[in-house]
Structure 1
Amino acid sequence: MEKRHESKKEVLVNPEQAEFMRVMEQQLEKQDELSAGDGKAGGFTKNKSLSSILNLELIQDKTGEEIAELWMKYYATKDTISAVIPSHTYEVIVARAQSCSMFLFALPQNEGYEFFVGQWSGHEIHFTSLINIQTHGKNAPSQMILYHHPDLKENKGIVLMTAELDPKFITVPQAQCLANQVQLFYGTKRQETFRLVETFNHHPAEFKHMSVIAELEQSGIGTALTPTSS
């Protein structure tokens, strides 16, 4: 997160980068206008495509590394999160998501943890708090969506990710923590870690929520959100 804030302060002096940012802004403005006309589902964009964010023709001659750098620099200036996932890692994640479409994620709070359910729908994963589900049931609205764009997976070796979040419920650092957990539990090479996801989906009676917290604490992912005593 420190690197993210440093990047946010960085001045983009490279003319090519500046042009890239300008084009992305134009694309997103068009998307916002279309969304305003069609209406958003619960405040989130429906069927969000990479072409609505990027001019794909503009990046055809760029390498995956160049696109990744531009993508991360652009979103570092926004109140959201982003990621660039290697194709081989995303193939593991999406294959596992097809067989295990839901999981219970833990978000560190001032005292204890708040649980969020993440549910996959194609290349999107929708998050809502467990309290929200207990209150609204199946009609519980999403509070954050991670959008994965596999358009460049074959040619450039990367999958681009961005997010939309409801700031009333999830802050940017919390969103980053949840996104990191998606990679931790769905992209892990450690079978014991993914077994928690399998148990949640296929043997729910055997699932123990404290195992998620133990895995999260071992990984150190939630450390940045845990207040330190002065």
Structure 2
Amino acid sequence: MEKRNEVKKQPVGCSKQSEFVRRMEEKAEDLSTRTSGFTRYKTLDSILNVEMVKEKSAEEIKQIWNQYFSAKDTVYAVIPAEKFDLIWKRAQKCPSFLYALPRKEGYEFFVGQWSGTELHFTSLINIQTQGEAAPSQLVLYHYPELQEEKGIVLMTAEMDSKFLVVPEAQCLANQVQLFYATDCSETYELVETFNHRSSEFKYMSVIAKLEHSGLGKALRPNQVSDTS
């Protein structure tokens, strides 16, 4: 408990976090081996008959994807090709970011790290206490196989239900588009600052953007916040 209290007092952007981000960038290709209980090398073919759906329109594929996952306790999406292209280009330059998840009291922070087309989330407290050994608690899988031909990228996820429920995982997934697919240069600048000027990064700016977007409201149904 003393150790947990100690790391909670450390400012976001401190040397420990900066060192971890650098280590994560160097070993991004090893992330998929640290997802305890998750599927390794999850392919689109393991979910969908790709050859069969190639004859269908993008809208039909979207309906199939949504119908299939609507009955499952997970996060999923169909992302327009142009939006994913922007996210992907930015992810190459800025593979890490700090996301805020609303809790009953305050916020819990998660570091999101890209490894190929997988996006791994790990709570900051676990990173600060376990370092590189900290396992992923949520993985978003993006499938660009149909991007050129159909103009869509399919996404689904796996999560550790001991740490996250679906609405919380959805909140983190929505923030990827909030920060990586934004047209607002000020919003994306937070991502650039976290990756390239971590000493200047202010975690309260992430909270401010999240509150302004309204993405966290569903997790706090009784809270009224001014997002104007």
Normalising by structure 2, we get a TM-score of 0.82
Report the counterpart of residue 12 of structure 1 in structure 2: none
The residue type equivalent to 1:157 in the other structure is G
Post-superposition Cα deviations, 1:187-212, rounded to whole Å, max 9, x if no partner, equal: 11111100000000000010000000
Report the counterpart of residue 47 of structure 1 in structure 2: 41
Report the counterpart of residue 57 of structure 1 in structure 2: 51
Report the counterpart of residue 110 of structure 1 in structure 2: 104
Give unpaired runs (5+ residues) of structure 1: 1-38
Paired with 1:118 and 1:86, the residues of 2 have a C-alpha distance of 21
Q: Kindly indicate whether residue 87 of structure 2 is the aligned counterpart of residue 121 of structure 1.
A: no
1:73 deviation in Å?
A: 1.5
Aligned length: 191
Report the counterpart of residue 218 of structure 1 in structure 2: 212
Q: How does 1:115-194 map onto structure 2 within 5 Å?
A: 115-194=109-188
The residue type equivalent to 1:188 in the other structure is T
Q: Is the 8 A contact 2:34 2:135 kept in 1?
A: no
Report the counterpart of residue 201 of structure 2 in structure 1: 207
1:60 deviation in Å?
A: 1.5
Give unpaired runs (5+ residues) of structure 2: 1-32, 224-228
1:72 deviation in Å?
A: 1.0
Report the counterpart of residue 11 of structure 1 in structure 2: none
Larger relative contact order, structure 1 or 2 (CA cutoff 8 Å, min sep 6): 2
Post-superposition Cα deviations, 1:106-142, rounded to whole Å, max 9, x if no partner, equal: 0000011000000000100000101111111111000
The 3 A distance-change label for structure 1 pair 210 and 77 is same
Paired with 1:125 and 1:56, the residues of 2 have a C-alpha distance of 22
Q: Could you say what secondary structure the match of 2:139 adopts?
A: strand
The residue type equivalent to 1:127 in the other structure is F
Report the counterpart of residue 8 of structure 1 in structure 2: none
Post-superposition Cα deviations, 1:34-63, rounded to whole Å, max 9, x if no partner, equal: xxxxx9941111111111111112212110
Query: What is the alpha-carbon root mean square deviation over aligned residues?
Result: 1.3
The residue type equivalent to 2:171 in the other structure is C
Q: Could you say what secondary structure the match of 1:167 adopts?
A: coil
Q: Could you say what secondary structure the match of 2:145 adopts?
A: helix
Paired with 1:219 and 1:73, the residues of 2 have a C-alpha distance of 27
1:227 deviation in Å?
A: 3.9
Q: Is the 8 A contact 1:40 1:46 kept in 2?
A: no
Paired with 2:146 and 2:159, the residues of 1 have a C-alpha distance of 24
Report the counterpart of residue 88 of structure 2 in structure 1: 94
Q: Could you say what secondary structure the match of 1:151 adopts?
A: coil
Q: Is the 8 A contact 1:196 1:212 kept in 2?
A: yes
Paired with 2:181 and 2:34, the residues of 1 have a C-alpha distance of 30
The residue type equivalent to 1:69 in the other structure is Q
Q: Could you say what secondary structure the match of 1:58 adopts?
A: helix
Paired with 2:55 and 2:182, the residues of 1 have a C-alpha distance of 32
1:143 deviation in Å?
A: 0.3
Which 10-residue stretch deviates more, 47-56 or 192-201? 47-56
Pick from 51, 63, 73 the counterpart of residue 69 of structure 1: 63
